Amino acid sequence: MTTSRIALFSCFLIVSPAVAADIPESFSSKYEGTLHLLNTSGSSSREILPKNPLAQDRDSEKKSVGLAAIYSLILPGMGELYANGFGSGKFFLMAEGALWLTFASFEIYGGSLRADARAFALSKAGIDPSGKDDQFYVDIGNFDNINEYNEKQARDREDEKIYEGNIYDVNQGYAWDWESDVARLAYRDQRLSSERVFNNKKFVVAAILINHVASAINAARAAISHNSAVDEAFGELSLRAGVIGGIRNPQGLMITVTKRF
């Protein structure tokens, strides 16, 4: 916005007592400032008082663009609410709720599948579930029993220390032995299904992050738009009034409206 001032129009009112009485009240609602109409008869002039629709509006204050963005980074839609742009912000808020519900659904469903798979392994392979990590549950799905697994590690070993770290000790509760290969494959399918559900949570988390960033950008734009509206309402239009003919011989009123760009 430049600081140059451009005169939009100038209007001259030659005011007589009759004309002054007939000036509509709606004229005053468009402008700031108090204008005095002088007439040729010397009778008392009437005032046109300002009526600015935003003057008493609590939302006529400028909003911080940075603060709006931060609010929406924390919770999508809140920055738009702060910047009086919740019409678009509500969609980010609804998306946030839907995404978290989806995340929770994947967490619950994936956990249920994993618990079922491990319970199946307990009944069909005789595992001891206490103290076991995720890798153990991967390994029991790939080998029929602990001996088959340890023999495979012995064949593939390249370093003695690595080999000793990879084998399972029967005496420490790591033994398993599947009733059949069919049972083992059924368990592995259950475990892989649970892993796929858990992996879907990563995409939901990415979508949540994108929603936060997009809402922050939208909130910043809403704040900028709000501030521009405030500038236009309060800082753009101005009026100047002058008496035609001078104070001693008033013949009318000249009103100059200017707009700043």
- Transcribe 42-97 into DSSP letters: -PPP-EE----TTTT-GGGS---HHHHHHHHHHSTTHHHHHTT-HHHHHHHHHHHH
Contact 36/47 with Cβ under 8 angstroms?
Answer: yes
pTM (two decimals): 0.62
Domain residue extents for the chain: 5-50+62-126+177-260
Half-sphere exposure of 257 (CA within 13 A, CB side): 10
| pLDDT score for 170 | 87
Q: In whole angstroms, give the CA distance from residue 40 to residue 16.
A: 6
The pLDDT tens digits of the residues spanning 5-64 come to: 333 333 333 334 443 444 444 444 444 444 444 444 444 444 444 444 444 455 678 999
| pLDDT score for 254 | 67
pLDDT at 204 over 90: yes
